Amino acid sequence: MLDPAIDVVLVEANEAFVSCPISNMVLGGFKTMADITRPYTGLERRGVRVVRDTATAIDMEKKQVRLARGDALAFDRVILSPGIDFMWEALPAMGNADAQGQVLHAWKAGPQTAQLRRQLEAMPDGGVYVLSVPEAPYRCPPGPYERACQVAAYFKARKPKSKVLVLDANADVTSKGPLFKKAWADLYKGLIEFRPNSKAVDVDVRGRAVKLEFDEVRGDVLNVLPPMKAGGIAAPFITANRRWCEVDWLTYESKAAKGVHILGDSLQIAPAMPKSGSMANGHAKVCAAAVVALLNGEAPNPSPTLINTCYSMVSDKLAVHVTSVHKYDERDRTMKAVPGSGGVSAAMNEAEGAYTMNWAANIWADALS
């Protein structure tokens, strides 16, 4: 803790943390839900008060966080990590709980991850798994393509007559494109079909079909990722494109409200900044240091730097990565990628598969221990 004198309260609805990174490997059958689940007890040991509830609103006038159970928590400064919500209005037939319980996104690791795995297990050999990718920006740019690899790995081993069909609203693979395409060709030839410029506009839930702008594609298992926006608690602080929250990159303070700081995938990203777990972890550290400084009447760091690393498992053992470095630009008041920094893997390999597992273990420990 940067300042033990500060009372830190974490409001968290779930009993345990379930990691989005590595969760695609549950779909491949190489990891279990237990493998990606961690408790919050490490934070409690460090003096963080964990309140198991859902924050429903931020009362700026009273400086309180309202909770679902009816009471409220007072704050001097509040940090929101809202994650993402879905723009169901973009897929009219998906606007009810029944449809959402049948056609899954599994883009928030947890019950839907396990449910999608069960759907894949129940699918007949020779069936078609359809993965619909929304237009960028969305949470975890390479995530859908890693998911395609993991499901194809499962099919290759257990359902070799089956097929993965990726319907991508974007013109091409949005991250690590050549590496993913190489994996698809070398590891999963005939198992994965990629269709760019294939934007989902609705879903025929009963007929198991994804409706495109000029076509309709049927499958046995539909996995549709709707367009995304900042999580619900952040709605009053959305200032960009009616979807995302803008912040001061030195403090992560909302441009819509003083004393409210916002992190992670809910942000209107800076140039070349991905919506990734690694980046959100960096946001949190810069924000925490800034909040401690502000509460003590000090100035925050005027030149923060963030490092992004994103691994993708293309099989049970092989992985690829992309990395970048982002530094605060004082003139433009935003984070910018450092020229010449970062890069991507030369090729998929087992060493990076081991690095992936170590990265996950380290970031979980960093955030939760």
> Which tens digit of pLDDT belongs to each residue from 127-155?
999 999 999 999 999 999 999 999 999 99
CB atoms within 10 A of CB 96: 10
* Res 148: pLDDT: 99
In this model, does residue 182 exceed pLDDT 90? yes
In the chain, domain spans:
86-228
pLDDT tens readout for residues 159-170? 999 999 999 999
Element (H, E) at 89: none
Pairing assessment for the beta strands 209-212 and 200-204 based on DSSP bridges:
antiparallel
**Residue 96 main-chain phi, psi, to 5 deg:** -140, 160
pLDDT tens readout for residues 219-266? 999 999 999 999 999 999 999 999 999 999 999 999 999 999 999 999
pLDDT tens readout for residues 14-23? 999 999 999 9
Q: What is the 3-state secondary structure (H, E, C) of 119-173?
A: HHHHCCCCCEEEEEECCCCCCCCCHHHHHHHHHHHHHHHHCCCCEEEEEECCCCC
* Res 32: pLDDT: 99
* Res 305: pLDDT: 98
pLDDT-derived band of residue 3, with 50, 70 and 90 as boundaries? confident
User: Is 179 strand, coil or helix?
Assistant: helix
Q: Is the pTM of this model over 0.85?
A: yes
* Res 95: pLDDT: 96
* Res 115: pLDDT: 99
pLDDT-derived band of residue 2, with 50, 70 and 90 as boundaries? confident
In this model, does residue 1 exceed pLDDT 80? no
Report the CATH architecture of 86-228: 3-Layer(bba) Sandwich (3.50)
* Res 353: pLDDT: 99
CB atoms within 10 A of CB 219: 20
Which one-letter amino acid corresponds to residue 180? Answer: F
